């Protein structure tokens, strides 16, 4: 079923999502994959109705949700995510030096701030997962992450690594 859906609707769906994401191929591929996964998990939603409009609606909702999720995060997280990702043109030595500087800056943070950043950024846990792991409320994870990122940004700026 999934293969038939993809062969019939995959191309137009990908083109539609690519336009919605502003040409971001990676995000478009992820959205198409998630859309088809939802169709596979909920085949009852496809019975008795045209399939393509349902797929396009689900894809649009996924793009809107991703956009809203990004906008809900404080701007400090956008800047620091850029610092923590490796620039495409840098070589191994530059990456090693940046990693070393970020690790050194992390050691200057309080243990509570460092723990929150390690759980959310390095281990990729959600706020709820980090809260469970650290044994603190989700709201505390959010506020500590906010202040930890601000402190990390300041520490990196002091080391000459301004965004």
Least reliable range by pLDDT among 71-80, 93-102, 127-136: 71-80
Q: How many CB atoms neighbour CB 140 within 10 A?
A: 16
For residue 113, what pLDDT is reported?
93
- Rounded Cα gap, residues 62 and 76, in angstroms: 24
d(CA 102, CA 84): 8
CATH of 2-72, one of 1.10.1740, 3.40.250, 3.90.550, 1.10.260: 1.10.1740
Q: What is the pLDDT of residues 142-159, one digit of tens each?
A: 999 999 999 988 888 887
pLDDT tops 60 at residue 86: no
Q: Is the pTM of this model over 0.85?
A: no
Confidence of residue 77 (pLDDT cuts 50, 70, 90): low
Specify the DSSP class assigned to residue 91.
-
Render pLDDT for 87-112 as a digit per residue (tens, 0 to 9): 555 466 777 777 787 888 888 899 99
pLDDT band at 135 (very low <50, low <70, confident <90, very high): very high
The CATH architecture annotation of domain 75-158 reads Orthogonal Bundle (1.10)
Which ranges in the chain are annotated with CATH 1.10.1740?
2-72
How much is the pLDDT for 5? 79
CA-based nearest residue to 161, from 93, 117, 100, 113? 100
Residues of the chain with CATH 1.10.10.10: 75-158
Question: Using CA atoms, how far apart are residues 142 and 41, in angstroms rounded to an integer?
Answer: 32
The pLDDT value given to residue 97: 73
Separation in Å, CA 46 to CA 32, 42, 62, 134: 16, 8, 18, 42
Q: What is the mean pLDDT of residues 117-122?
A: 88
């Amino acid at each position: 079923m999934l293969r038939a859906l993809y062969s019939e609707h995959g191309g137009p769906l990908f083109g539609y999502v690519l336009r919605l994401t502003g040409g971001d191929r990676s995000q478009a591929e992820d959205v198409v994959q998630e859309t088809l996964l939802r169709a596979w998990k909920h085949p009852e939603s496809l019975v008795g109705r045209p399939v393509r409009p349902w797929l396009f609606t689900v894809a649009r909702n996924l793009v809107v949700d991703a956009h809203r999720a990004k906008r809900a995060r404080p701007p400090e997280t956008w800047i620091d995510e850029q610092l923590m990702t490796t620039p495409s043109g840098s070589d191994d030595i530059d990456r090693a030096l940046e990693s070393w500087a970020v690790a050194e800056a992390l050691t200057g943070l309080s243990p509570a701030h460092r723990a929150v950043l390690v759980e959310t950024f390095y281990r990729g846990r959600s706020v709820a997962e980090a809260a469970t792991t650290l044994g603190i409320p989700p709201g505390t994870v959010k506020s500590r992450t906010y202040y930890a990122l601000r402190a990390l940004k300041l520490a990196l700026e002091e080391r000459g690594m301004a965004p």
